[in-house]
Structure 1
Amino acid sequence: MTSWLKRALIAASLAVTLPVAAANYTIGTGSQSGTYYPLGGMLAKVWSENIDGFNMRAEVTAASVENIIKVASGQQLAGIAMGDSVLAAVNGEAPFKRPMDVSVLFALYPNVVQFLVPADSDINSVADLKGKKVSVGAPGSGTRVGSTAILSALGIQEGDFKAQSLNYTATTEALANGQIDAGVIIGSAGVGAITELALTRDIRVLSFSQEELDKIHAAQPAYAGMEIPADTYNKVPAFTAPAVWNVLVVKKDLDPKLANEMLKTAFDNMDGIKNVIADAKSTTVENMDRLQGAPLHESSQTYLNEMKGN
């Protein structure tokens, strides 16, 4: 047998027996002390284990704004983002310079706007933040976008207080060490960063009046009031605060077949995800389109219609 024929047969054999390399993807999340990261990790695990040729990992990011930009530019397959940031992206409003080419695969769970202060602080309402040192969230985060928009809706601009740009972990550390007077974390009720802080420090979460909630909703329709019961955090009294849905975003032109596989696999395995991530209890087919004003991916709309029997 000639050498070239041997090489040809070996090449043909390898082509048949070697597995096709899996496509590698990332899902944009947030800081490791929030809910985005573990939830994104669970989704990545479920998809990697159940979709052929699919390998995904969760990426730590500055959260919503960064995730949307990376999804739109093809740097991430999917990203978790707050609803108000997604609406701004779709409409090309600040902080986005143009409309972003993204759509919603499905809604996840609601985020609560939580203004943290020491329990003995003289800050009892958002109006009392004037002149204080306040962490409004890391640059590129949904917390930064949401907190400044909410303060603006209540007539408070960044020049009215001493703004600090800290992520979840840095915010709770600075509050614990007395380096800031207040800090904003927009996350699930029971988010880890606040849970850990409340175990070592006596804190409160500011409660919003109905008048304040109405002003916020008028300026930011994605937000609605939510009542959070006492002891959601250690020794923290009940409070009422604005809340907005988090969603999973993908590119509008994501391959419909892959999008459908991701949808079906996620919801088929949601019970297992809920066992690890309590907030996933809100991630249901019925809630898929909870974010009004942002388009669902074409596969998501088809899947929703089929599941509803339309």
Structure 2
Amino acid sequence: MYRMIKRGLLALTLAVSLPALAENYTIGTGSQSGTYYPLGGILAKIWSENLPDFNMRAEVTAASVENTIKVATGKQLVGVSQGNVVLQAAQGEKPFPRKMDVTVLFALYPNVVQFIVPADSDIHSVMDLKGKKVSLGAPGSGTRVSATNILQTLGISTDDIRAQSLNYTATTNAIANGQIDAGVIVGSLGVGAITELALTRDIRILSFTADELKKITAANPSYIEQDVPKDSYNNVPAFQAPAVWNVLVVNNKLDPKLAYQMTKVAFEHMDDIRKVINVTQFTTVENMNKLNGIALHPGAEKYRQEQMSQ
């Protein structure tokens, strides 16, 4: 009995004297050849170094849909996602089976919907994709959601094409090797997968007509029109395409104090983030609520209001 009491007292003493362990979190990103992964990595590093008892790592995922589901179900604290995917999740629209408990911490930068073809391809418009072998993006990715939505808006179903389900790297490899006719990558301008492909192969990115862009933005309010100048990639002509804002998705039950601190720390270190991810030049306090149709998390909104009132 004495030994048991002694061991109990020792355990209690250790419990009282040992410092509390940091909470471990993950941020959902995407494939390693995209922008989401390095962005998630730098955010995880900055939050881990500047928030007390906070330790985060970046997780490779299938991107937007997977990240949104994991955030809604408490398997990730935060995820990078396309705004249209988060809106569909919050509203319970396909591919989500029900309304998900998600909201936005802040908007990041616009993603451009890029339909890639070899430079000598006979595909010159989105309508020319009918009957062709086209990679629409990996299952669970925002690329696949956006590609499918846009094609359907323009009257093209997945039955009209020979759809493939490839991630960024597999898509560009398949284009380079002549295994597919076209591939879709929804990512920031200068995304690594397309940049690398354009350095080794002659490619084009399909340009949408003014009427097509009008139909897309009317049917999907989260999209904007993007004019992309020539040579944004090596020897690629100028093109017009729809774009959608990327956001940081969080559970709407996230502690408001933590949401506020995460937002504050991120913007206080935005110069460091921009040194790693150039497209975060668009990540500003003014653009925090750029995604129409969903409110910011209350903790993030508190920070935005403080900054806008200064």
Contact 2:258 2:299 in 1 (8 A): no
Which residue of 1 is the match for residue 211 of structure 2?
211
**TM-score, normalised to structure 1's length?**
0.96
For 1:34-85, what per-residue CA distance to the aligned partner results, in whole angstroms no more than 9, with x for missing partners?
0001000110000011111101111111111111100000000001110111
Q: Give the deviation of 1:7 after TM superposition.
A: 5.2
Which residue of 1 is the match for residue 134 of structure 2?
134
- Unaligned runs of 5+ residues in structure 2 are none
Which residue of 1 is the match for residue 250 of structure 2?
250
Match of 2:19, SS state, is coil
- Unaligned runs of 5+ residues in structure 1 are none
Match of 2:95, SS state, is coil
2:45 counterpart of 1:45:
yes
Q: Which amino acid aligns with 2:212?
A: E
In 2, the alpha carbon distance for the partners of 1:32 and 1:259 equals: 26
Report matched runs for 1:78-227 at 5 Å: 78-227=78-227
In 2, the alpha carbon distance for the partners of 1:4 and 1:99 equals: 52
In 2, the alpha carbon distance for the partners of 1:96 and 1:43 equals: 27
In 2, the alpha carbon distance for the partners of 1:279 and 1:20 equals: 37
Q: Give the deviation of 1:284 after TM superposition.
A: 0.9
Contact 2:111 2:189 in 1 (8 A): yes
2:19 counterpart of 1:26:
no
Identity %: 67
Q: Which amino acid aligns with 1:297?
A: H
Which residue of 2 is the match for residue 259 of structure 1?
259
Q: Which amino acid aligns with 2:184?
A: V
For 1:9-39, what per-residue CA distance to the aligned partner results, in whole angstroms no more than 9, with x for missing partners?
7546534542211111111111110000100
Which residue of 2 is the match for residue 272 of structure 1?
272
Cα RMSD (Å): 1.4
For 1:246-286, what per-residue CA distance to the aligned partner results, in whole angstroms no more than 9, with x for missing partners?
00011101011111110111111110010011111111111
**TM-score, normalised to structure 2's length?**
0.96
2:275 counterpart of 1:241:
no
Match of 1:61, SS state, is coil
Match of 1:285, SS state, is coil
